[in-house]
Structures are given as structure tokens and as C-alpha cells.
Structure 1
Amino acid sequence: MELSERASGVLLHPTSLPSRHGIGDLGQAAYRFVDYLSLANQRYWQLLPLGPTGYGNSPYASTSAFAGNPLLIDLNAMAEENHCGELLADAPEFSSRVIDFAKVSAWKLPRLRKAAELFLDNAPPSRGQAFNRFCGKAHWWLNDYAMFVSIKHHADRLAIQSGAPNSAWNVFWDADLKRRCPEALARWSEEHEREIEAEKVLQFYFFEQWNRLKAYASDRHVRFIGDVPIFVALDSSDVWASPGQFLLDEELHPTKVAGVPPDYFSETGQRWGNPLYDWDAMRADGFRWWIQRFSATLELVDVVRLDHFRGFQACWSIAADEPTAINGHWDLAPGEDVFAAVRESLGEIPIIAEDLGVITPEVEALRDRHGFPGMRILQFAFDCNESRRTHFLPHHYIANTVVYTGTHDNDTVRGWYANHPESDRQLLHEYAGYSCGDVWWDLIRMALASVANTVIIPMQDVLGLGSEARLNQPATMGANWCWRLSEDSLTESTASRLSHLVNVYERNGWGPRVGEPKQREAEADPTQTPRPHFMPPLANTRSSS
């Protein structure tokens, strides 16, 4: 599928969906959101990375580039199948407005693992065979991931008991385990077989539930845009399982780490701390790791957004002992060779290049040689910085562009407007020449009216929410990634308003126009409860502020 048709979509990470277990999941609310997108004539649902989160709960700091986040599993459905509904009886009062990750993890993860163990004990033959097929297909990453989670679970507990400040695998783990000594791994696998298998069951359920949701969305002409962060977390199964692909010293510590130089978000830049790739080692095996990563991602989504695309041309390299990103330098990267290898193996892939930040002619040339659409952020268009304005004002766009009112790293439009100087606001009013009275709808209309083929609107902007709904503030720690969608937010009025603008600006994309019959309905699945096209708000959901 190409991004060559005029279409639009909504950005919302599944963790932000409402649910009674404190965090969004792949249950009823996810299907209801697909129905909402279909009613609003939206063709895309854009997501953040779907992997299990690590330090700081950031989806961009996952413990695996290939696994799914167990916290997204619909525990209701899993408990129902394994006849353990009593696991849900003591669900605490969770906030309906924000995610308390510590509270959610402490309650949900043990119950997920208990349900997984019951599956191992009692699954009927057909389900056991399906699980075995999944394990066979995913073995190349699943075995290492499940082992990593098992060891990490024990190491984290020991670190807490001993007061150790860091439980990362390359710092705290037993030397034989961190160096992947075959005898040590075999011994651990034998002694902890059940919990390792339980982790595999959780991945089986995640991918099964995700594939059902994806099929449901596809039947309603909604496609997924997924996010691939260019770098992976140091404390991840990826680095532990393949240390030779990264710039590590003999003690398995990074020699160089990733980040960005001082920019719009931070005067000292951002020191992300991700280990840099050993590009020579990757080139030696034909960039196999990247081919696997793209292949795995495309099993989950239809379009890939490459976060920090400029890192494929050159990445900001920071000595590991530097406390900030100020003293880094640009190291060249073989993006041309990576994309050539991926294309040769997988064919053409629909890719969005996140080309924000310090972008050079070389980065633009790499993007354009491969025909990848870049990104434009409307908030940046109305900035007293003239060079920023020139790049992001809609009359400078080309068709092969994806325009956002803002991204997950920006304030909401309403919050941005309230917190920016009058001069920036005046630029917006002069450029727009009109106002409907709600600045967020002014920018949504401007994006949809633009020549850009693809428009993505954060759900917070559709709802006109303020800074309290901001998802992430780069270079900060604290209340990021926590915002949740309220149960009654998905109204037919906002869906109708979006659908009307889609028709006005001819963004019906590659699916049927509103009012036309769908090509086909989802094939009946006897294991799934039939779902209406537009579900009412979830019932019996307990919440607190």
C-alpha cells in the first residue's frame, strides 16, 4: 500500500484507550475506536511503538524491538478463555484520566502470568497447536526475549533487595548469563522453564489479539501506521542477544550512545543513552537484523514511520561518559545500503520518514531517492523563527508529505495556542484568514485542505483538549505517556465533523466514501463476540480521579 492517495487518520496509542484495568488494551475499546475512525471516514490509525516498555514507561525505550507489550493484552478475554475470571475480582480503583504504570503493572502482570500458566496446563489440543505454531514461527526472537524477561524479573527483584541502583543486564546480571554462556543459559532454561513458557504464552495472546483487531480494522478500511524507533534500549533483549551488532566494550558497556544536539526542545540536547550500531558488523551479514525488524513490524502494521530518520544518514554520537548531548558529533550511517538490502529482501515498503530536527541536504537526498514522504508539523509553521515557518507553512508542501497538527512530542494545539506569545497567534490568524472559533479545528481544517497526501491528527486535537492531555514532553522525566481517553469522548458529532471535512477536501483515500457499502465484512470468528459498527460507551467501568 502506498501513501499516494489523499487520506487522513488519527494518532492515538492503545495505552490511552479506556478500560477498567488502568491502561488501554486490545479489548472492546480498541474495536470501538476502529468503529469511530470508520464513522469519521478516517483511513489510518497511527500508533506509537507496541513493544514492552522499560525505564520511564516510554514506548521508545522498549525491552524488545520484536515483542508486544503484555500490558496491552485484553485480560478479560484471556481470563474468560482460561476459566479464571476470579483473577479479576480484586481489581482496584484505577484512574480514568491517567495511567499509573507502577500500580497497573503490579496488579495486571501477575494475573496475566497466572492466566498464561493455566493455559499451559489446560489448553485444548487445538489451542496448544496454535501456540506451538506461533512459537515455531517466532523462535528467532521469542526464545531470547522470554529468557531475557525471566532473568530480568529475578535480577530486578534482587537489585531492589540489595539496594543496587542499576539492574541492567550488562551491569547487574551474573557474568555467565550476561555473556550468554551456553551452559549457564541451558541451566537457567531448565530451572525456569515454566515461567519462560508463560512469557511465550503472553506473546502468543498479544499477537493473536492484535491480528484480530487488525483484521477488524482492515474490513472497515482502516490501516495501521506503526512506529519504528531507529535505536533500541541498552537494557533490552535485542542488545543482550546480539551484542556484536552494537558498539560495546569488552565489559559490554556502550562506548558511544545516541541523542540529538541542542534543539527546539532542549538547550543541552537530548542524551538518549541508546547504544549505537556497529554498522560494519551489520554490513557484514547483509543488514539481516534490519531486514528482520522491518519484516516483523510489517506483520503488525501497514505503514512504517521511521522515527529519527536522519540517523540513517548520520547520527549524533556521544561518548558514553558524557553527561549531556552537547559534546557529541555526527557519525555517518549507511542508510542507503540498509534500505537497498531491505528492498531486495522484502520489496517496496510504505515508509514515512520522521525528518524533523537538524536536517541536512544529505538527509533530504536520502529521503527523496527512496521516495519516502517527510513530515510537517503545523504548530511549527506559526513560529517567530522565520526558517522554521518557511519549512512548515502549508503553501510550501508537496504532495508526498504527511502533515500533523502536532505529534506525541508536541503540546496539544489548544495548549500550544494558550501558552505561546501573541506574535505567534497573530501569525496563525493572518495566515488562516478565518476562524471557526476553535483554534484546533482551524488547524485541522488547514491540514486537511493542504496539498499533502496524508494528514494525521492527534486524538487530543480532535477533542480540543489542553496541555493536561499532552502525552510527552521530550527531555523530561515524570508524567509522560500517561494520558487516557475518557469513555464518552468518541462522539458521533466529532466523527461527523471529521467526515464532513474529509469529503470537502476529497480525502476519501483508497476506501469507499461515506455512505457507500463496505467491500466485505469480517469473516465470522466463532471465538469472538460480534461487535456493532459503533459501540456505545463501555459499561460497568469503575474509575476514580
Structure 2
Amino acid sequence: MSQKKSGVLLHPSSFSTQYGYGDIGLYAYRYVDFLRQAGQNLWQVLPLGPVNESDCPYQSSSAFAGNIYLISVELLILDGYVKQEYVNGLFNGQVLSFEQSKQLKNVVFHKSFQRFTENKMFLLDSFLDFCLRNQYWLEDYSSYVVLQEYFSIGWEQWPVNNIQSLQSKYNIDVSEKVLYQKFLQFIFDQQWSALKKYANNNGIKIIGDVPIYLSHDSVDVWKNPDLFLLDSQGNSTFISGSPPDNFSSTGQLWNTCLYRWEKHKENSYYWWIERLKMIKTRCDFIRLDHFRGFVEFWAIPAGVNEAEIGCWEKGPGEEFFFEILKHFNKEDFIVEDMGIITDDIIRIRNQFQFMGIKVLQCKFDQKIFKDDNYTYYTGTHDTDTLLGWIKKDNNQIKDHEHLVQEAWNIIETVSASKAKYVIFQIQDLLMLDSEYRMNVPGSAIGNWHYLFDENSIAEKTVLKLKDITEKNKR
């Protein structure tokens, strides 16, 4: 049996930096130090791709690019791209909303890019190598962002469909704007790679997350319309979602694109393989979101406002995973096998010996977990905090200290389980109430903006978590 592991779930956007939107700078390095001191060996993050206005990491405009707002301003200063005085004048020591932070970060990014171009750093081997390694997606993504910014409408309505046509038709040169997008992806890649190396050197492996679906307004749908369920004008014919389940009594409308799986099969799932290869360079393990969707998926007619109005359609099933495992090891994956799980889904998961998921707060069938090949969570980004859940589930417990003790008892029980991996939300270790949860499924506002205060981790919390972890030989 492989070594048991223990870790913590916290997305980088939640780091309470002085620049508002959390990033992958010095706070993240101190967080890795906390994981090491607490005896942890896993760090789980949410998807690292670009986000939309809601900041939802599961609604991305690219399956390959990184979220530029995770770029650390501190590291840009330390690396000489921008001066501290300039940044201080912009941010002025204020506590910012995510939206304000993104606006000001854009100003810092442009200032950094100015130095990048003035010093002809685009000729450096490191930048040229980055562009070469990522040529499959980088040019398309950079062009997509420029076109989207220019037209400010959905790609299916653009009067031109590429950068060359944009430049000739409107007599403008946008080559520098394209270079700017490449620069931002280069900086993200450098900063994230350095952080991952630091984590790995400290015995911490990173669990990444791959959303099964993408936004219609994404470069991947724009460049590969034949791979998605679209009509001849480029509009979605069906959208993603889920019927009523444990997370939502009315089901969920995800409004992301569904795949035309027969087209993916024609080229041996090449797009998926390239996508997973990219994620594997950024993370040590891949949480494969919505595993059920690869076996069968809920298809909702476009334009419908009720998730219940849909039907189950067949996914690619085992043939998809046979192809994927020609390029990866089964140990690379943790499959999110939650929701309404059928015998078919259990069969395919067991056939490939994928590690499944079990969440304490969600109902589950014991027959699904006959062995230890699963990751056990106190909660996820979609559930309540542990303390909030206990309060709702045990109304008779009124005293805060009793609630906290019950939460620690549960954490110890999860750690002592037979599960190969256990993951605790940082909110659960900090004994935070429901108002600090990351997301409420089915709710469109107030999500994804939890901010973690590193000063709230008391030494006794670190020691307690370390003691529980060591006692259970994780």
C-alpha cells in the first residue's frame, strides 16, 4: 500500500496579501512553511486558469492559460520589473475588493511589461523557451484575449476571426498587445513553477483541479468549435449542469459547453491529452472534476432556465481512459465521483483503479468504498465549513468550545480513517463559521472571495494538526 498522506485545501486567491487579490508570492511560500511545520504533505488548489467577472475558477476562458491575477506584485518588485514606490502610490495601503485589486494589478502589469519591452527581454532564452514549450495554446490564447478586448462581444459575433484580419481590416497593429498576453503567461509560469519547486523541496505535493467543462466564451471553444455541441452560428445547442442531488434540490445550471465526444475520439482525444499534460506540469496530482460526466452527462437545452429539464447522454466511457492512460499513470488522478453514482461509474472507476473521493458532509454509499483508494475530505469548496455544518446538524450543541471540540474530534476521525489521502479545508482547521465558506452551489453572488488570514493560525493549531497526523502515520 502506498504511503498515507494528509493535506489542506486552500486556493491561492484566498491569501490575504496587501494587494487585495490573493497571489502566489511570499504569502504562499509562508503557507508552504505552515504545511511543513504541521506535518502535512499535500496542498490542494482549485483550478488555476483565467476567471470571469464572478472570479469562479470553474468558469474559465482557457483550458491551458494561468490566472494572471494570481501573479505576485511583490515578486514583480523583487525581480526588478516595477519599483516599490510606484506600487505604493497605486495601492496606497488600502484594503481592496477583488475587482479593485484586479484593476490596479493591470496597471502594475503594464508597467512591468514596459520594462520587459524596453530591455528587449522577449529575446531572452527563458521567454523564447516558454513560448516554444507552450506553442500548442499560447498564440491562440493571446490572440483570443486581444480580439475579445477589441470587440467586447462573444466570439461568435466577431466580424473577423483572427489577428491578421483584425490588423488589415482596421489598419491597426496589435502585435504588442499579443506579446503582452504572452508576457503575463510567462510571468505566471515562472512564479508558479518556483512556488511548486519550493513546495516539492519541502515535501509538499500539489493536487491540481481540472474542470470538466469550459465557458462558451473561451479560446478553446472558439478555435475548436467542432469539439463542442454548437450550432452552425457557434451558439451552444445544449449546456452543462446537474439534476437535483445532495448539493442542490433543484439541480444546477453550469452554463458551460458540452463536448461532441465523437469528434474527440476521431483524433484520439488529443486536445484532452494536451490539456492534462499542461496541468501535470503545474501539479503533482490531478483532481478530475465531475468524473460522472465522462461516463454519462446531463444535457440541458440551451435557453432553458431550469436544470431539471434535461436528459442523460452517454460520455466516452472507458475508451477515453484507455487513451489517457497511454500518457499518464493511474496514480496521477483523483476522480471526483460524487453526486448520483451508478454501477457503470463504479465499474469504470474500479476498472482503472482510480482514487475516488469521499466527503464527510455528503451522503455516500458504503459499497463504493470497499478499499482505501479514496481521498477523504472534511469539506470542499462546495460545502459548508465543518463548524457551520456541525452547528446545523447538532442544534443541541450551543457552547462554542463544545462545537470546536466536536470539530477536532471529526478531524481526528477523518485522519484515522483507512483513506489513502485526507484533506482538510483551511477554514475547518481555523474553526470558521458558515460565512467563511468558499462557494454555495446554485448561488450566483458572494462566492470565491474567502480571504485567509495567516495570523489566525495559532501555534497550538499547528501542533495539534501535526500530532493528529503523526499519530495516524500520515
Task: Please state how far the C-alpha of 1:489 moved relative to its aligned partner.
Answer: 2.2
From 392, 399, 409, the equivalent of 1:419 is 392
Q: What is the match of residue 527 of structure 1? A: none
Give the drift of 1:193.
0.8
Could you say if the C-alpha distance between residues 344 and 308 of structure 1 is closer, same or farther in structure 2, counting changes exceeding 3 Å? Answer: same
Aligned in 2, Cα 1:416/1:134: closer, same or farther, shift over 3 Å?
A: same
2:158 paired residue number: 174
In 1, Cα distance between equivalents of 2:90 and 2:82: 16
Q: Say which SS state the counterpart of residue 136 (structure 2) adopts.
A: helix
DSSP-derived class of the 1:316 partner: strand
Output aligned runs, 1:35-114, within 5 Å: 35-80=33-78, 81-88=80-87, 89-95=89-95, 100-114=97-111
Q: Deviations over 1:422-465 (max 9, x none)?
A: 49x89xxxxxxxx8952221111010010111100000001111
Shift of 1:495: 1.5
Please state how far the C-alpha of 1:353 moved relative to its aligned partner: 0.9
**1:524 equivalent in structure 2:** none
**Preserved CA contact (<8 Å) 1:17 1:29:** yes
Does 2:141 correspond to 1:145? yes
- Residue 79 of structure 1 and its aligned partner are, at CA, apart by 3.5
How many Å apart are 1:268 and its aligned residue? 2.2
The answer for unaligned runs of 5 or more in structure 2 is none
What one-letter code is carried by the residue in structure 2 that aligns with 1:281? K
Cα distance in 2 for partners of 1:67, 1:117 equals 22
User: Are residue 487 (structure 1) and residue 469 (structure 2) matched?
Assistant: no
CA distance in 2, matches of 1:124, 1:250: 43
Q: Which residue of 2 aligns with 1:333?
A: 315
Q: Distance in 2 between matches of 1:6 and 1:344?
A: 26
Aligned to 1:45, the other structure's residue is in SS state strand
Aligned to 1:503: 470
CA contact (8 A) 1:312 1:335 kept: yes
1:197 aligns with 2:176: no
Larger mean CA deviation between 14-23 and 186-195 belongs to 186-195
Secondary structure of 2:440's aligned partner: coil
Equivalent residue for 2:29, pick from 17, 31, 34: 31
Map 1:252-291; keep pairs closer than 5 Å.
252-291=234-273
Moved more, 412-421 or 28-37: 412-421
Aligned equivalents of 2:139 and 2:242: distance in 1? 33
Q: Cα–Cα, structure 1 residues 123 and 191, in superposed 2: closer, same or farther, change >3 Å?
A: closer
1:431 alignment counterpart: none
Matching residue of 2:300: 318
Amino acid at match of 2:114: E
Residue in structure 2 matched with residue 408 of structure 1 by the alignment: 381
Larger relative contact order (Cα-Cα within 8 Å, sequence gap ≥ 6): 1
CA distance in 2, matches of 1:151, 1:320: 25
1:132 and 2:146 correspond:
no
Aligned pairs for 1:350-499 (under 5 A) are 350-380=332-362, 388=363, 390-391=365-366, 398-420=371-393, 422=395, 438-499=405-466
State how many pairs are aligned: 469
Letter in 2 for 1:56: S
Q: Does 1:307 align with 2:328?
A: no
Alignment check: 8 A CA contact 2:82 2:108 kept: no
Contact 2:404 2:431 in 1 (8 A): no
Deviation at 1:493, TM superposition (A): 2.0
> Distance between the aligned counterparts of 2:120 and 2:272, measured in 1?
35
What's the offset of the Cα at 1:84? Answer: 3.6
**Which residue is 1:210 aligned to?**
192
The 2-side partners of 1:312 and 1:5 are apart by 29
For 1:356-399, what per-residue CA distance to the aligned partner results, in whole angstroms no more than 9, with x for missing partners?
1111010111111111111111123xxxxxxx365499xx6631
Relative distance call for 1:411 and 1:196 in structure 2 (3 A) is same
Q: How many percent identity over aligned positions?
A: 35
1:186 Cα deviation after fit: 7.1
Query: Please, which moves more after superposition, 287-296 or 109-118?
Result: 109-118
Q: CA 1:486–1:506 in 2, change beyond 3 Å: closer, same or farther?
A: same
Work out whether residues 100 and 482 of structure 1, in 8 Å CA contact, stay in contact via their aligned partners in 2.
no
Structure-2 change in CA distance of 1:86 and 1:187 (3 Å):
farther
Q: Is the 8 Å Cα contact of residues 84 and 115 (structure 1) preserved in structure 2?
A: no
SS at match of 2:447: coil
Distance in structure 1 (CA, Å) of the matches to 2:329 and 2:172? 40
In structure 2, the CA distance between the partners of 1:42 and 1:87, relative to structure 1 (3 Å rule), is same
How far the C-alpha of 1:55 sits from its partner, in A, is 4.0
Secondary structure at the aligned position of 1:247 is classed as: coil
2:113 aligns with 116
Task: Indicate conservation of the 8 Å contact 1:51/1:59, yes or no.
Answer: yes
1:303-362 CA distance string (max 9 Å, x none): 000111100100001111211111111110113122111211345451111111111010
Distance 1:184 1:70 in 2: 24
- For the 8 Å contact 1:55–1:61, the answer to whether it is kept is no
Q: Report the TM-score, using the length of structure 2 for normalisation.
A: 0.93
Q: Taking structure 1 as reference, are residues 271 and 364 closer, same or farther at Cα in structure 2, changes over 3 Å only?
A: same
Deviation string, structure 1 residues 397-428 (Cα, Å, up to 9, x no partner): 631111000101001011112223549x89xx
Letter in 2 for 1:114: K
Partners of 2:233 and 2:107 in 1: CA distance: 33
244-253 or 70-79: bigger deviation: 70-79
C-alpha separation between the residues in 2 aligned to 1:375 and 1:185?
A: 49
Select the residue among 199, 203, 209 that pairs with 1:227. Answer: 209
Aligned equivalents of 2:159, 2:33: Cα separation in 1: 51
